Amino acid sequence: MLAYAKINLTLEILARREDGYHTLRSVMLPVGLADELTVEPGPAFAFECDPPTLTADNLVVRALDRIGLGAAPLHVRLRKAIPAGAGLGGGSSDAAALLRLAIDGALGPISTRDWLADARALGSDVPFFLVGDGALVEGTGDRVTALGALPPWWVVLAMPSVHVSTADAYRTLAAHREKNPAPSRARAGSASLRVLEAVQAGDFGAVCRAAVNDFEPIVAAAYPPVAETLAALRAAGATLAMLSGSGGACFALEASEANARALADRLSVAPATRTVVVPLAPTPGWRAP
């Protein structure tokens, strides 16, 4: 099973709750960079990850533990293409792919479960990946509104060799807002609602005008390779260049494959920065957990 990466066309970080978590609004779209997960019967439980450095505390194993299959006779293989700590949701997508296999019966009989609760327990992005569509994500990641059919747009992913801690990004943003409080942002008319409507209408220009990521200035200031990558995308003529999630992956959104490939040809980034050109991922449409 393929586990696709995502980009955030918006990421609005809202109020901090008493439990320390922040509420958010974000328009997320799956893109055609994917990890590959296979599960086969075996004599005993075994998990392999390529690269092996991502084996420890892997979300796929945690998902199996969560649904009671942590010791099942399964041979699980995960081949990673999505970099860790990049804001592309690779680990969450892997966990959602494992849950989807279980929901579809590929892992054998499992008693009735609250699959959405399982997804929430594994991570704030897992519910998004579980529905298999572009979506507006709200709350702490638990409220997911599917967008439906996605436009035929393309993405240039530029991934500098940095690992950004989401927890650190939130702490830095919180410290910044203690000195510079963010204005309240009503849901109606918010950037995320405008982008959601623009994606559904296929209005590329409106998406570019409304897109925003609250983490971008914070992360770009803390990680020079991120700032350099964003500058390189813009210098190459990107229509829209942004940070994805809490980074450090950056992306340019383009309306056509030709535009995306031409941009990639013009792009000049550091040798350690990995660049790929991919479409928005094909999705089966919304699927109930």
Report whether 146 contacts 283 (CB < 8 A). Answer: no
The Cα–Cα gap between 225 and 148 comes to: 35
Rounded Cα distance, 178 and 55, in Å: 37
Could you give the C-alpha distances from 180 to 183, 190, 211, 246, in angstroms and in order?
A: 9, 20, 21, 19
Q: Are 23 and 29 in contact (CB under 8 A)?
A: no
As a residue count, the chain comes to 289
- State the catalytic residues: 6, 125
Rounded-to-integer distance, Cα 240 and Cα 207, Å: 9
Closest Cα to residue 251, out of 216, 288, 289, 203? Answer: 216
119: tokens are 């997804």
